[in-house]
Structure 1
Amino acid sequence: MEQKDLDYFRELLQTMLEEAQQNGDATLDELTDSNEMFADPADRATAESDRAFTLRIRDRERKLIKKIRSAIGRMEDGTFGVCDECGDEIGVPRLKARPVTKLCINCKSKQEEDERERAD
């Protein structure tokens, strides 16, 4: 991969990391601000449902942050853009679509196919 591509992806990943961290912080602020008492059980149930949804979003953000940091680490050790399965280079279009990916499109397609077969 060319240096200009690496620079592009480093900037992209850094921006993604900052956004994910800000979103995570905002989610935590929302959770701590919502210590309301509800007289109506339906209102309480709605609030609990919203809280569970917010926690799921926060968990997804946490996992994304971990993947972004891993991708940045792969940049530092020179393995960014190399497929974990086959060792081939991951195409720039694939990395633009999913910069945290560890698999080339062929290996990812095979993985998804295998998962579908196991589900059947």
Structure 2
Amino acid sequence: MAKLTEQDIINWDGNEDDYMNEDHLAFFRERLISLQNELIEKASVTTNNMQEHESAPDPADRASQEEEYALELRTRDRERKLLVKIQDSLREIEEGDYGFCHDTGEPIGLRRLLARPTATLSVEAQERRERMKKQYAD
């Protein structure tokens, strides 16, 4: 069978027994690996750029440059955390747990996973967690 496309995932109307079948798993595995490779490439480019640039002699330029580096490093730190989630998701695919809510065990849903391939909670479970967090934060 041909590989699934994003449109196939959006239009899927199979039954619950067919949820996270081999084609779905292959689609999300490929998507996660592609995302992982993209993040690794960005990190490599950032490292090379920071090593190549000399410190500016003018204090104002140097301060501006350091601010740019700080922003870049914050972005890369967020991406590093995402990389961990991607690797966890790939492990879940191998173990057969991918696509199921960690709280309820129910299917997360293909459309949600399409939007956020590293999702570990169904929309309902995520909303419940956010309400609880907000309730205890107040």
Query: How many residue pairs are counted as aligned between the two chains?
Result: 119
Map 1:1-120 to 2 at 5 A. Answer: 1-38=20-57, 40-120=58-138
What do the CA deviations read for 1:62-89 (whole angstroms, capped 9, x no partner)? Answer: 1111111110000011110111111111
Question: Taking structure 1 as the reference length, what is the TM-score of the superposition?
Answer: 0.92
Secondary structure of 2:119's counterpart equals coil
Q: Which amino acid in the other structure matches residue 74 of structure 1?
A: E
- The equivalent residue for 2:9 is none
Identity %: 36
Superposed CA RMSD: 1.2
Structure 1: runs of 5 or more not aligned: none
Contact 1:23 1:61 in 2 (8 A): no
Distance 2:80 2:51 in 1: 18
Structure 2: runs of 5 or more not aligned: 1-19
Cα deviation, residue 50, structure 1: 0.7
